[in-house]
Chains A and B, each alone.
Chain A
Amino acid sequence: MTHSIISLKNISVSYDGEQVLKGFNLDIHDGEFVTLLGPSGCGKTTVLRTIAGFVTPEAGDVFFNETKINDLPPHKRELNTIFQKYALFPHLNVYDNIAFGMRIKRKKESEVKKTVVELLELVNLSGYAHRGIAQLSGGQQQRVAIARALANEPKILLLDEPLGALDLKLRKDMQVQLKEIQQQTGITFIFVTHDQEEALSMSDTVVVMDGGEIQQIGTPIDIYNEPKNAFVADFIGESNILDGLMLEDFKVRFAGHLFPCLDKGFSKNTPVDVVIRPEDITFVPQDASHIKGEVTNVTFKGVHYEIIVDVDGFKWMIQSTAYQAIGEKIGLSILPDAIHVMEKSDYSGTFGDYSTFSDEMEEDMILEEEAELEDENEV
């Protein structure tokens, strides 16, 4: 394993009395593509700004190549940032924007020119050198920002939701391009996003965050296949999360039945969360399965149908290429390797079935129901 280029030790940060990070630890290895993934407000941008030096932690240390850099101002740190809204200099043209950092470092103008031309080629913007920033599209501005950040040959590139403002197709192109740049240059990338698909497709390592804490660190495959708790399972991809009881190794009970599974190492009769990915469930006739339900909703998604099945009040999501009509009585088949058992956590019970997709909608619906009940009581 290569050494840590960035090490955060026990970092605490709060804004206006609100604790954003508390005792945060993270090691990032040289040459890695690391993604900080989490919902808005989870502290991922604060981690990035702490590394960049724009946020001074109240407690804890930041190490760069094993040197403490707590008191090093941003302009002396050997890393560069790509900002969310690009933050290009509006009074300078494309060339001068990219040349800014090198000119600050008093490089020879001939050298500056050589680098700018190379970088413009790298981001496919040759011929745009003398355009004004306002004349560029969002995607072009984005690429200028990338070139500008690379011009200083940073050891680390910090990317703060850099693709957030681009449309879907452009995003995909930029994802590929960023990944290529990272592989060509070997620079450590620390990428912040709330888009799980982006995180999975680009990263070597994904750091899933919520509430200022790391929920799980791992490769994209680990994170998806072996989520550590209900939050990770719910945030990365779609998941049916059920209450379960681990009876003994390879035997788990949920949805009122006993299932064989591949998980072990829990003590006997441990309450657990059980995750089943929607694509791992297949439809069978009702009498061939323990889990019987009724189709309540079908949405066509292109590649597959997203089918909601009500089983004794719990709404399962199933992704299948086979169409099922609403109202159809159906059985669900779950194979042992489709079952993933997790320890109970603070998130248990907060995520689960597919009555709603978002927490916000769910809360609103509960409030609405309560209001209706009150109305009825008054009458």
Chain B
Amino acid sequence: MKSKSKMLSAPYTIWMTIFIIVPVILVGYFAFTDKQGTFTLQNIIQVGEYSNVFIRSIWLGALATAISLVLGYPLAYIISQRTEKMQNVMIMLVMLPMWMNFLLRTYSWMTLLENNGIINNLLASVGLPRVQMINTAGAVVLGMVYNYIPYMILPLYNVLNKIDNSVIEAAQDLGADRRSVFLKVIIPMSMPGIISGITMVFVPAVSTFIISKMLGGGANLLIGDLIDMQFLGSAYNPNLGSAISLVLMVIILICMGIMNQFDDGENTGGMLL
């Protein structure tokens, strides 16, 4: 029995080894060696020079996550209160943009936000001044929220949908008005969804590079762009790139560790990664 299940899991084990474990080891190897392959801490030390990029990435990522939560929670709640048929339609609408290519979606925001883009032309046509939107931090956050909010809504909807109506009635029965029901029952019970929503938005947002490149211009360089430059760009230095990746990975792990402290220790398994 045991050997059979081992055999069945073999493809996954091999897959994980080749495509997850080996790359992580390689990243670690490059991060701690120089171009000649000798051990050095120079790369890690050099990462410190980019601390402003790290701070900006985490700040913008956190901002985008917070906005996604504030926008996504009410929507997920509204969806969960509809009839089952309506729920399916609404969930499909939430996922609909994801059917389109990520790059294409971000390009379309460029045409909307550009100085001579659709929104500014519209403003000009009614006699309002043009607004600088593209190449701002705001545009980057907008891009992040737009692209990642479905990852916030789906887990939230999942937990909210599972809350038994009789539990809410029980709270009302015990004297809780709508506000107390929401604050003392619905929010605490949806905590697992909040945690996984935050994780699923924050992690890709903090390490994105396309969004910042296309909507943020040169002034809003993020960690993702920095890493991109070390491997494919002008500043070619895979060793430094690996070191930056490694530091980013550690930072994300720490953030997630802190997040999971808010969850009562239930349902934490599998939520981290």
User: Which A residues have a C-beta under 8 Å from some C-beta of B?
Assistant: 52, 54, 73-76, 80-81, 83-85, 87-92, 100-101, 104-105, 148-149, 151-152
Contacting residue for B170 out of A73, A83, A91, A151, CB 8 A: A83
CB of A101 within 8 A of CB of B174, answer yes
A148–B175 Cα distance when bound, in Å, is 12
In the bound complex, CA of A84 to CA of B167 (Å): 11
Question: Is there an interface contact between B173 and A81, defined as CB atoms closer than 8 Å?
Answer: yes
* Stretch of B26-34, B183-191, B194-202 that contacts chain A: B183-191
B173 in complex: contacting residue of A52, A84, A91, A92, CB < 8 Å: A52
Whether B169 contacts A91 by the Cβ 8 Å rule is no
Q: Are B172 and A100 in contact (CB under 8 A)?
A: no
CB-CB under 8 A from A100, the residues of chain B are 171, 174, 176, 184
Return chain A residues, CB-CB under 8 Å to B264: 91
Given the contacts A100-B184, A104-B180, A87 and B169 also touching, CB distance less than 8 Å = yes
| Pairs of residues from A and B, 6 with the lowest C-beta to C-beta distance, nearest first | A101-B174, A87-B166, A87-B170, A74-B172, A104-B175, A91-B188
Nearest chain-A residue to B165 (Cβ)?
A: A87
CA gap between A121 and B189 in the complex, in Å: 28
A interface majority secondary structure: loop
| CB of B49 within 8 Å of the partner chain | no
Residues of B within 8 A of A81 (CB): 169-170, 173
- B165, chain A: closest CB distance, angstroms: 9
> Please, which residue of chain A has its CB at the minimum distance from the CB of B264?
A91
**Contact (A73, B172) CB under 8 Å given A90-B189, A91-B191:** yes
Residues in chain B near residue A80, CB distance under 8 A: 173-174
Nearest A residue to B167 by beta-carbon distance?
A: A87
A75/B170 in contact, CB under 8 A: no
- Taking CB atoms, residues of chain B closer than 8 Å to A84 are 166
Closest to A98 in B: B174
A83-B166, A89-B167 are known contacts. Are A75 and B173 too (CB-CB below 8 A)?
Answer: yes
Residue of A83, A88, A105, A149 most packed against chain B (CB within 10 A): A83
Residues of A within 8 A of B172 (CB): 54, 73-75
Bound-complex Cα distance A325 to B94 (A)? 71
Q: Give the residue of A54, A89, A90 whose beta carbon is less than 8 angstroms from that of B171.
A: A89
Chain A residues, CB < 8 A from B188: 91-92
The smallest C-beta distance from A187 to any residue of chain B, in angstroms, reads 15
A83 lies within 8 A of B175 (CB): no
Taken together as a complex, chains A and B put the C-alpha atoms of A80 and B185 apart, in Å, by 17
Are A75 and B169 interface neighbours, CB within 8 A? no
Q: How far is the CB of B85 from chain A (nearest CB, A)?
A: 15
**Assuming the A-B contacts A83-B169, A89-B170, A91-B264, are A152 and B191 also in contact, with contact meaning beta carbons closer than 8 angstroms in the complex?**
no
CB pair A85–B175 under 8 Å, yes or no, is no
Residues from chain B with a CB closer than 8 A to the CB of A85 are 164, 166
CA A54 to CA B185, docked complex, whole Å: 18
